[in-house]
Structure 1
C-alpha cells in the first residue's frame, strides 16, 4: 500500500497509478519515495512483464509540487542536495527497470512530468497531451531529468526547450522523439494495449538483454572493440534456454515457453 500510488495488476501487466489528482499528480517527497519503492518491487516481481506509469485524473503529472519546491528553497545546501539525490535515484530506478516500461500520458506532463515520460522506455500520449521543460520559468534548471530528456530528443531540441520552456504539443513531442505514439483522446488505452501485446510476445530475458545492449553501444565508435562486444552478446544470448526454446518453437510452429 502506498500513500500516493495505486498499483493495478492485470495478468503480466502492472500499472503504477500516480494518485494525487487534486494537484495534477505533482510530486513531493512522498510520491518520490513511493515511486522508488514501487519500481524496486515490480522489477523484482517475475510475474510482471510490462510496467505502465500513469496518472489519475485529467493530467499525467504537473511536475514538482510547488509546496515541496517552497520547502526545498528553505533547505540548507546539504539537505537540498540529498533531496535532489532522492529524485535522481527515483528516475534512475524507473529508467533502469529490467522489463519494458510505458508512460501513459494524458493532459499535462510538465517539468518533472516530462522527465517521468522520458525515463520510461516508451511513451504513448493522447492528442491533448502537452509537455514542457518549464524549470527556467522558476529560476531553476531541468538538471535531474536532463539525461532522460536528452536521450529522447537529443541536444539540439534540448537547447531550445530547456531555455525557452515552451509548451510542446503531443504531435510535436512525437516529431522530436519525446513520445513513441500519439492516439486520439478516447483511444489512449487501446493504443497502449496494442503496444503491450507486442511486448508480451517477446522473450523477457531477450528484452532485458536488448535494453542492456542499447546502453552498452549507444554513442560509441563502431570499432573492433564494439564489434567484438556485440558478437559476444549475441553468442551468450543464443546459448540461453530461452533462445533455444524460442527458435525451436518458431520452427515447430508452437507457442514459446514464456507465453504458456
Structure 2
C-alpha cells in the first residue's frame, strides 16, 4: 500500500517512526488514515528488523480525532454501514494494541477523541506538558464508544468516568496521574525524553519484550489461578529460548549480548 496520510521509516537501530501526516487537518483520522494505520500495524508486526515503534504526529497537533468529512459520511450511512466503519477503527486500534513490538507515543499539541484512542494503544506515552486532551463526543450527541475499550483500560474506570461524560478538556498531568502517560515534559525536552524511552528498550532482548507485552495483555483478563499458571509457563518457555541463554551467558561473562544496543 502506498501511504498518503502517514509516513513510516525505520532507522538502522530498528526504530520505526510512524508519523500521522495530515498536518493541515490536525492529523484527524479519516477512512484512508485508518486503512493505512491498519496496514502499517500488519507490516510492523511481521518485520523482524523493527524493535521499537514511535507513533507521532506531523505539525502542531498529534491527532484531533475524527475527520469531520468522514464523520458526516458515517452519518449518511445506514446502520450496517455505520457498524462497518466503526469496526474498521476498532480493528485498527486492536492491531496496534496487540502489536508484538513496544509502541512509544510522542504526544503534543492536542489529542481529542480518536487521538486518545491512539494514545491508549501506546505502551509508553510521553506528552508535552501543554498538550490538550478531550473526549468531546457527547457534545455532538455521540459517545466515545469505539475507542472506549482501549481508553477505559488505560485510564481505569475512576478516571474514565470523569472525562467520558462531560466533554470537558483535561491536561497531561491528569493522564499522568491516571497512569496513561508515563512522562510529561516541556516541549523542548519532548524528543530527548522519547529517545530515552527508545534507548531503554534497545537494551532489552526483542523477543523477551514481545513476550512480556503479550503477558501484560493476557494477565488482565485471567482469574488469579489462571494467571499463576500462565506466568509460570511463560517463564519456563523464556528460559528455554536462545535469547535468554545468550543473555545469561553474557551477564556472567560481563559481555554485551548480541541484541543489546551499545553507544
Asked if TM exceeds 0.5, the reply is: yes
Deviation for aligned residue 1:80: 1.1
The correspondence of residues 153-168 of structure 1 with structure 2, limited to 5 A, is 153-168=155-170
Q: Aligned residue for 2:124?
A: 122
The correspondence of residues 240-259 of structure 1 with structure 2, limited to 5 A, is 240-259=241-260
Instruction: Tell me, yes or no, if structure 1 residue 147 matches structure 2 residue 149.
Output: yes
CA contact (8 A) 1:131 1:173 kept: no
Superposed CA deviations along residues 1-51 of structure 1, whole A, max 9, x for unmatched, are 301011132221011111100010001000000110011111211111001
SS at match of 1:258: coil
Superposed CA deviations along residues 54-97 of structure 1, whole A, max 9, x for unmatched, are 11000000000011101110001111111111111110111110
Q: Aligned residue for 1:43?
A: 45
CA distance in 1, matches of 2:138, 2:234: 42
CA distance in 2, matches of 1:92, 1:227: 25
CA contact (8 A) 1:132 1:165 kept: yes
SS at match of 2:33: helix
* Corresponding residue to 1:28 among 5, 30, 34: 30
* Corresponding residue to 1:205 among 199, 204, 207: 207
Superposed CA deviations along residues 193-232 of structure 1, whole A, max 9, x for unmatched, are 0000000111111111111111222254423x33222211
CA contact (8 A) 2:21 2:58 kept: yes
SS at match of 2:49: coil
**TM-score w.r.t. structure 2 length?**
0.95
SS at match of 2:165: helix
CA contact (8 A) 2:98 2:214 kept: no
**TM-score w.r.t. structure 1 length?**
0.96
Over aligned residues, Cα RMSD in angstroms?
Answer: 1.2
Q: Aligned residue for 2:67?
A: 65
CA distance in 2, matches of 1:231, 1:97: 23
The correspondence of residues 53-92 of structure 1 with structure 2, limited to 5 A, is 53-92=55-94
Consecutive unaligned residues of structure 2, counting only runs of 5 or more, are none
Q: Aligned residue for 1:178?
A: 180
SS at match of 1:210: helix
CA contact (8 A) 2:107 2:126 kept: yes
CA distance in 1, matches of 2:217, 2:257: 27
Q: Aligned residue for 1:113?
A: 115
CA contact (8 A) 1:24 1:58 kept: yes
Consecutive unaligned residues of structure 1, counting only runs of 5 or more, are none
CA distance in 2, matches of 1:128, 1:159: 23
Q: Aligned residue for 1:196?
A: 198
Q: Aligned residue for 1:227?
A: 228
Larger CA deviation: 173-182 vs 53-62 = 173-182
Larger CA deviation: 234-243 vs 165-174 = 165-174
